[in-house]
Amino acid sequence: MGKRSEANFRRTDAIRALQSARDGGLTPSAMEIVVGPDGAVTFRILGDKATTDTTQDSAGAKEWSKAIKELKATTPKGGK
């Protein structure tokens, strides 16, 4: 087994990010750790409503798609 590379972040960094989110009033439900090309680490804390918001957005997107299709159907091909 090969040698492990140096860790870009420590466990305490993740714990601090979670504690900061809680102190800010967010109820964390998931954490995403993103390491950029320059080695910078970003912690994304997702709240408990993260999944419910996307379902509302998809319903809104369907309405927009329907309205766009209707507009395309009424617009002449010349664009005028």
pLDDT of 69: 87
pLDDT at 73: 85
- Which pLDDT tens digit goes with each residue over 3-62? 656 666 788 999 999 999 999 998 888 899 888 888 888 999 988 776 655 555 677 778
Domain boundary assignment for the chain: 11-74
Residue-wise over 25-34: b if at least 16 C-beta within 10 A, else e?
eeeeeeeeee
Q: Is the pTM of this model over 0.85?
A: no
Tell me the residue length of the chain.
80
Residue in this structure with the two tokens 């091909």, named with its chain if needed: 77
Q: Using 50, 70 and 90 to split pLDDT, how confident is the model at 72?
A: confident
